Amino acid sequence: VYVKSFEVIEKPNVHYSDIGGLNEQINEIREVIELPLKNPELFKEIGIDPPKGVLLYGPPGTGKTLLAKAVATESNATFIQVVASEFAQKFVGEGARIVREVFELARRKAPSIVFIDEIDAIGAKRVDMGTSGEREIQRTLMQLLAEIDGFKPLDNVKIIAATNRLDILDPALLRPGRFDRLIEVPLPNFEGRKEIFRIYLQKMKTDGDIRYDILASMTEGFSGAEIKNVCTEAGYIAIRNGRKYVNMTDLITAIEKIKAKNNKAKNSDR
């Protein structure tokens, strides 16, 4: 079977308004990615180099992919997504070639944003280079570094990478001129959780009596992805009950259900 090694979205359709609770992160990524793509002359004029690459780090499901897609949408850039963990599993012996192809395509489709998800899969510090698999991953990383070093800060290709494991990354990736801007994408706080509930519930039919403060206070520690799941689950509960709209009871039941599931997963980890 033919497996796609990367995905190209010519016109992504995610907007900053689809993201809850990450205003600071949106402002920062706009300044370092959107502004230089749209107004390179500002940077030339004053004589500073914007970063070529930005690294988003934080727990799973907090909106890193969403942020990268939104900045591509708002910069009118082609979005090219690569999932690094798939290199190691599906494309043995082809990693370096795929990296080369991705950047060729990015230059051809510029302005563009190359998004490398789970970069730790190819960019972790290596202790032991004994096996051929390890050496292959190392070659893939070397090719990636060569591509990043090969273009100029004001070229219209930008790289955004994401990881849940900043602690294990090879420092070579973080050197000046590579991923030298780090943006933390944390779990949402109270206000953030309220915003994320609003984003999803406003697209749904409700009885009009939603208490966002209660929902937010019941979901401490939830990621944006989990809050989205709560809303979807509440929709199913309403359907099962023969209703055409969601109410607070459905949402609270859904929260309890997802909490129970998370607890079970935690216990089986031990």
Place of tokens 């490398």: 116
Closer CB to ligand ATP, 120 or 136, in the complex: 120
Of the listed pieces 36-44, 55-63, 101-109, 152-160, which binds ligand ATP according to CB under 6 A?
A: 55-63
Structure tokens at 205: 């039919």
- Contacts to ligand ATP from residues 152-211, by CB under 6 A: 162, 164, 188, 196, 199
Dihedral, 261, 266, 269, 270 alpha carbons, nearest 10 = -130
Q: Return the number of the residue (225 or 258) whose C-beta is nearest ligand ATP.
A: 225
With the C-alpha atoms ordered 198, 202, 203, 207, is the resulting torsion angle positive or negative? positive
The bridge status of strand 112-117 relative to strand 157-163 is parallel
258 binds ligand ATP (CB under 6 A): no
Q: Is 206 annotated as a binding residue?
A: no
Q: Which stretch binds ligand ATP (CB under 6 A): 1-9, 31-39, 56-64, 253-261?
A: 56-64
From residue 64, alpha-carbon distances to 42, 195, 209 in Å are 27, 16, 31
Count interface residues toward ligand ATP (CB under 6 A): 20
Give the residue nearest to ligand ATP (CB): 224
CB of 3 to ligand ATP, least distance (A): 19
**Cα angle, residue 15 at apex, residues 36 and 42 outer, rounded to 5°:** 15
Stretch in the footprint of ligand ATP (CB under 6 A) among 141-149, 172-180, 220-228, 238-246? 220-228
| Site membership for ligand ATP, residue 233 (CB under 6 A) | no
Q: Which residues contact 11 (CB under 8 A, 6 or more apart)?
A: 73
Strand, coil or helix: 127? coil
Out of 11, 60, 90, 167, the only residue in the binding site for ligand ATP (CB under 6 A) is 60
Contact track, ligand ATP, 134-153, x by CB under 6 A: --------------------
Q: How many Å apart are CA 166 and CA 57, to the nearest integer?
A: 6
Rounded CA separation 173/80 (Å) = 19
CB of 60 to ligand ATP, least distance (A): 3
Q: In whole angstroms, how close is the CB of 266 to ligand ATP at the nearest point?
A: 17
Closest C-alpha to 214, from 177, 260, 169, 255? 255
3-state secondary structure of 32: helix
> What six digits make up the tokens of 120?
């730790």
Q: Which of 52, 64, 178, 181 binds ligand ATP (CB under 6 A)?
A: 64
235 binds ligand ATP (CB under 6 A): no
Residue ranges at the known binding site for ATP: 61-66, 200
Binding site for ligand ATP (CB under 6 A): 19-22, 60-66, 117, 162, 164, 188, 196, 199, 224-225, 228
